[in-house]
Every structure is written in C-alpha cells, then in structure tokens.
Structure 1
Amino acid sequence: MTNLYFRGVWKVHKVLLDTFKGPHSFLTPMVKQMQKKFNTYWVEYLLILSCAAILDPCYKLNYVQYCFTTIYCIHASNFLETILNKLSLLFNDYVKKFKSTSSFLVRSSNVSDNDPVDSSLHQNNVNMVDLRGDYDEGDDYKRKSSIQYNELSLLARDLLAILISTVAFESAFSMRKKVITPLMIHLSQK
C-alpha cells in the first residue's frame, strides 16, 4: 500500500543523508552514488507517496511535514506547498466527477422512491437485517461519514489502494541476456 511505503522510503533517504554528512568520509563516494540512484526514484514517487501519507489517518499532514523538515530543512515548506496544491487539484477533480455522477444517482433514486413495491421490499430487507442480528451500529457511522466526506473518501480509497512494487524496474524488465555458467547448466541435470 502506498501510505506504508512513504515511511520506509523516508527512512532510507534520511539514512543516506546522515551517512553522507557523517564522520566516516570513506563512505562518502559510495553514498553519493546511492543518493543519485535513490533521487531518480524519489523525485518520481515523492508526490504520490506524500499524498497517500497525508490521507492516511495514521500519518496525516503533520507527519509528512516533519519528514520533509528533517530532509529539506528550510526548503520543506516549498515541497509541502507543491504537494498540497497537487492534492487540492486532484480533490477538485473528484468533486467534479462526483457531482456529475451524483446528479444521475439522484434522478434514478427518485424514480425508485415513487414505486411502492420497491419501497416495501427495501423496508422488508431492513427489518430482516435487524431480526437476524447482522446489524452493526458502526455501519451507520461509516455510512454517514462516507456521505459527508464522499469525495475525500473516494480519493483516499483510490490513493491508498495503489500497489507499490518491491522489484526493481531494471531487473524485472531487463532485456539483457541472462548469464548461464557451466555450473548452472549442470544444476538442472542429475
């Protein structure tokens, strides 16, 4: 899940920075190369990982702000402003999308409300749920919360559901020849 990766990637970034600035100067050339490779991925995924962490109730904006402050110091506010602007634009797109679909849903729900057969079936289903004991009061809270913050809940659902691969892109899609040594050839034969 996207929100869980932000913390791990931030920790790697922080360790690289601390090691680069640390007392062991013999590590500096190696860490510099690692930072260069890391930054190519960090720049690409910074926005999506940050937005997912902001929408995660466990982390929120304060956590992302803290992480950026430890990495970027005085420039952290610039990164946060950019991320919040992008998140706001994305949220506005969800609002527009929801308004167009909600007007369709309202029209179709008004048609079914006028039908006495549909209303009685719905009432019967509600009563059946209560009789079987499957009703959970928490469901009402979740339903009211998702109705009140419908666009935000949809945005959070979509962003938090993005899967992040743990396989390096180069190794997964490499067109290089696989090297088979004489020892490897004999492994398959017994």
Structure 2
Amino acid sequence: MLHEALKYKTALNRFARENFMDSPLDEDWAKAEALHGFLQEFNEATKAFSADRHPTAHFFLKMVLAIRLVLLDEAWNSNELLNAIANAMYTKFQKYWAQPNMVLLIAAVLDPSQKLDLIKFYFYTIGENVEVKMRELKQYMRRYYLEYEKIVRCQSLHVFIPPDEQDTSEDTFICSPSGSGQLCGKRRVEFAFEQFASQNSSAHPERSELDAYLEDPRVPKRADDSINVLAWWKKNADAYPTLSLMARDFLAIPVSTVSSESAFSAAGRILGKNRTSLSPETLEALVCAKDWLIGFNDEEEGEPMTGKRMFDSEDSDDE
C-alpha cells in the first residue's frame, strides 16, 4: 500500500485538492517514505519464507541475520517513529529467534554452499560461544545421521541380487586339483593380502559420509548467487546416500505456514458454495492436476522443482 501510494503521490494530492479533501502534509509523506524503506527489508524476507515451489529451510538463517541487521541499524535512531517500532520488533525477535531450532540449523548445513561456515558466522555474529554451539550441533547431526544410516542399511538388505551376480567367495580362493600351482599361489596371496588390509584398516577407520561432507570444500554458487540444492543432492546421491535421504526430509520443512495454508485455500476455491456436488475423488484430482501443471510450468521456465518431485523424477520416468 505504501509503495503504490508513494508512486502516485502527486496524483493523490491533486485528487484531494480537486475534491476539496484533506491531503497528507509533506511531513506525512516523509514519514510514509521512511516507513516504506524500513518495511521493504521485511517484505523481501516474507516473500522468501512464504515460497512454496522450492525449499526454504536452508536459507532461513541468512534472512534472520538480515532482519537482525535491519532492526539494529542506527539509522532509525533519528526517526522517533521508526526507532520505537524497531525496538519493539527487536524484543520479539530476541524472544523467538535468538535460539533457532536445531533442526533448521541442520537444514542450513545441508546446503552445500553453506555447510558449517554459515552456522559459525551466525553464532559469532550474535555473540554466542561458537565452539560450544558447534559441538552441540555436531552431536545432533550425528544422532540424526546414525538413525538415517539404519534406514539406508535396512533398505540395502532388501535389495535382490540375482544368483548369477552373487559373489561366491569360496570359489574365488579354493584351488582346483587340476589348476596350476602359479594360479593357486596367486589366489592365496590375494586372500592373505585382503585379510591383512582389513585388519590394518580397522586401526584407521574410514571417514563417514557426514565427516566427508563437512570436510569437503563448499560448493561455489553461480553468478546470480543461487544454487539448486535439490538438484545437487540428487546428483550426489550415490556419493552421499544417507545424507541425501536426510536432505530430502530436512529441506522439505517449510519455514512458513503460508505454503500449507495456500493448499487448503486452493481446495476451498474449487469446492465452494456454487460447486458442492463434486466427489472426493474428483476434488483430489483437480487439486493434484493444478499442482502438477504449475510444477511442470516452473520446470520449463528453469525454476527449481519441489522436494519430492525432484527426487522422484527419475523413478517416474522409469515407470
């Protein structure tokens, strides 16, 4: 409203004069312009948080830091109105956002362009003990990782291996009586080497997926300062099978409830007072078809796909 009013300031003043109405004074317009600049930052954050066609959980931390920076800006001290508004908002900000949810912090870490560096920067900026907070975050991540590792292990046990592709270790190292002594000796050496290597590697355990992901360098962003995080995890699912499963769940967490509320409002527009005889199956088909068509158009325009559709796109093609 303020944006449109400032755009047509001259026209509104002229309309008020021609109709003998009171028009805002110059100082009123100055207050409106200052308030518009103050609220502009929060308008961008609201649009980012309420998006429903791409994940939002991984960049909430940057938006929270941006909001905090705006509220603490000393430029508002010169304006009595904005100073009072900023102080009241910062009080609420400290109440709800001073200690962010640990799950959302993990979602931020699962952005390959951020990882732990953004979390360290966040705690450093708000004046928290970085080492203590990072230790707590890593403990939570390892707990979740171990739980998801169990899920991946259970899924791998149910994978069917055809008999002709199964490994028969007994045939590998048992020499036939008619076999040559050179070939038999080579197999024995290989078997002994494998045993020695397995025993020696137990003293130096292999890095887990989580350790490898956190220690690897961050993925650079594109020129437009964006990265398709879902596409990255889909591409690297073979390298990080457990973490990709975590990313699918954690990145699907909406920061705002607007996206879920819009789904119900869409159904309300389809099934209204003048259209009440639709069966549940027809209503479900209309809602799903609308969502699929919108997602298809987003994909054509180059916008990122939603979480589950991104991971399931290959499966649907195979079917």
The TM-score with structure 2 as length reference comes to 0.36
Whether the aligned pair in 2 keeps the contact of 1:2 and 1:49 (CA below 8 Å) is yes
Q: CA RMSD in A?
A: 3.1
Give the C-alpha shift of residue 15 in structure 1.
Answer: 3.1
Give the C-alpha shift of residue 22 in structure 1.
Answer: 7.9
- Aligned counterparts of 2:69 and 2:257: Cα–Cα separation in 1: 19
Give the C-alpha shift of residue 13 in structure 1.
Answer: 2.5
Q: Given the superposition, is the C-alpha separation of residues 166 and 38 from structure 1 closer, same or farther in structure 2, using an over 3 Å criterion?
A: farther
1:35 match = 90
The aligned length equals 134
Aligned runs of 1:121-132 on 2, under 5 Å? none
Q: Does 1:85 align with 2:139?
A: yes
Aligned runs of 1:20-169 on 2, under 5 Å? 24=77, 30-42=85-97, 45-73=100-128, 75-105=129-159, 109-110=160-161, 113-114=162-163, 145-165=236-256, 167=258
Give the C-alpha shift of residue 99 in structure 1.
Answer: 1.4
- Out of 52, 59, 65, the position equivalent to 1:10 is 65
Larger helix fraction of residues = 1
- Aligned counterparts of 1:82 and 1:9: Cα–Cα separation in 2: 20
Q: What 5-or-longer segments of structure 1 have no aligned partner?
A: 117-141, 168-190
- What CA deviation, in whole Å up to 9, does each residue of 1:4-48 have, x standing for no partner? 2221112112333x34x8893967765443233223432574322
- Aligned counterparts of 2:76 and 2:157: Cα–Cα separation in 1: 63
Give the C-alpha shift of residue 59 in structure 1.
Answer: 1.3
- Aligned counterparts of 2:109 and 2:135: Cα–Cα separation in 1: 13
Whether the aligned pair in 2 keeps the contact of 1:2 and 1:162 (CA below 8 Å) is yes
Q: Given the superposition, is the C-alpha separation of residues 22 and 87 from structure 1 closer, same or farther in structure 2, using an over 3 Å criterion?
A: farther
3-state SS in 2 of match to 1:24: helix
- Aligned counterparts of 1:88 and 1:101: Cα–Cα separation in 2: 20
- Aligned counterparts of 1:22 and 1:87: Cα–Cα separation in 2: 39
Whether the aligned pair in 2 keeps the contact of 1:3 and 1:53 (CA below 8 Å) is yes
Q: Percent identity?
A: 29
Q: Supply the AA of the counterpart residue of 2:140.
A: K
- Aligned counterparts of 1:164 and 1:56: Cα–Cα separation in 2: 15
Give the C-alpha shift of residue 90 in structure 1.
Answer: 0.8
- What CA deviation, in whole Å up to 9, does each residue of 1:93-137 have, x standing for no partner? 1012221222122xxx12xx2389xxxxxxxxxxxxxxxxxxxxx
Highest relative contact order (Cα 8 Å, sep 6+), 1 or 2?
1
- Aligned counterparts of 2:158 and 2:134: Cα–Cα separation in 1: 36
Q: Given the superposition, is the C-alpha separation of residues 35 and 28 from structure 1 closer, same or farther in structure 2, using an over 3 Å criterion?
A: same
- Aligned counterparts of 2:157 and 2:92: Cα–Cα separation in 1: 48
